[in-house]
Structure 1
Amino acid sequence: MTAVSEETGTVGRPVAVVPPGERGATRIADRVVTKIATQAAREALAPLPAGAAAPHATVVVHHETVRVRVHVDLGYPCDIGARCAVVRRHVTERVGTLVDMAVREVAVQVERLHLAPAPGAAHGRTA
């Protein structure tokens, strides 16, 4: 039940005062959720390997639930499963906290692996 009180308006007539939580709804645009998911993936992978593309995300929002697909480049060698798990956890936590929606799925798609230079390897061209 909505509690409505009356106050006197500027013309002396009573005005209904609706509590702040019941005045309306806030809708967060899908593109905002996408930007938050992308930033969260970037945070989870920092620092990015040399030559790697920045992560990007796509989201589907349906009835206050979110499904996310994140595309990433990883340095190699690494534990690919563990790196993806870190991204998944961080994106779930950040999106869920910042937009107050249930994150049902975070799929991490590894687009490219970037080989790390071997220690002591020559850089550039050698004669």
Structure 2
Amino acid sequence: MSAPAPRATPPLVAAADRGATRIADRVVAKIAAQAAREALDALPGKAPQAAVTVHHDIARVRISLELAYPCDLAAQCAAVRRLVALRVEECAAMSVPEVDIEIEHLHPASLRPAPAGRERRLR
């Protein structure tokens, strides 16, 4: 009888190549909603809400928010889009080809809180 042939040791595989990391859609949505809050700099009203669809490493994001009015709505939305895409790419390593924004409500600018250190006087 012959002795069994020795088994070959499998080559070592780097940890990054051995498995997969999956980030849940709801986690990506929380990252996107927080980024939208940061971009809007604490405006009054309901906090931004995000819905996300992830396919492989591509996230499509939809943000629902409320804005102060009058303001440059296009500039506000552009700032939200930029920061949401940046944060999702940084934190979740996903590309964000589109960020759709739905403005649900406009608040009069007079309801905005006064800047710190300034008091409003009524006459």
Question: Considering the TM-score relative to the shorter chain, is it more than 0.5?
Answer: yes
Higher helix residue share: 2
Q: Which residue of 2 aligns with 1:111?
A: 104
Alignment of 1:21-32 (within 5 A): 21-32=16-27
SS of the residue 1:117 aligns to? helix
Provide the rounded CA distance (Å) in 1 between the counterparts of 2:96 and 2:31: 12
Superposition pairs of residues 42-121 of structure 1, within 5 angstroms: 42-49=37-44, 52-117=45-110
Gaps of 5+ in 1: 1-13, 123-127
Q: Distance in 2 between matches of 1:103 and 1:69?
A: 11
Aligned length: 108
Any gaps of 5 or more consecutive residues in structure 2?
A: 1-8, 112-119
2:67 aligned partner, one-letter code: L
TM-score, normalisation: structure 2: 0.79
Q: Tell me the C-alpha RMSD between the 2 structures.
A: 2.1
Question: What percentage of aligned pairs have identical amino acids?
Answer: 52
Which structure's relative contact order is higher, taking Cα pairs within 8 Å and 6+ residues apart? 2
Tell me how far apart the structure 1 counterparts of residues 100 and 14 of structure 2 sit (CA, whole Å). 39
In the TM superposition, what is the alpha-carbon distance from 1:15 to its structure 2 partner? 7.1
SS at match of 1:17: coil
Q: Distance between the aligned counterparts of 1:117 and 1:70, measured in 2?
A: 24
Supply the distance in 1 between the matched residues of 2:59 and 2:122 (Cα, whole angstroms): 45
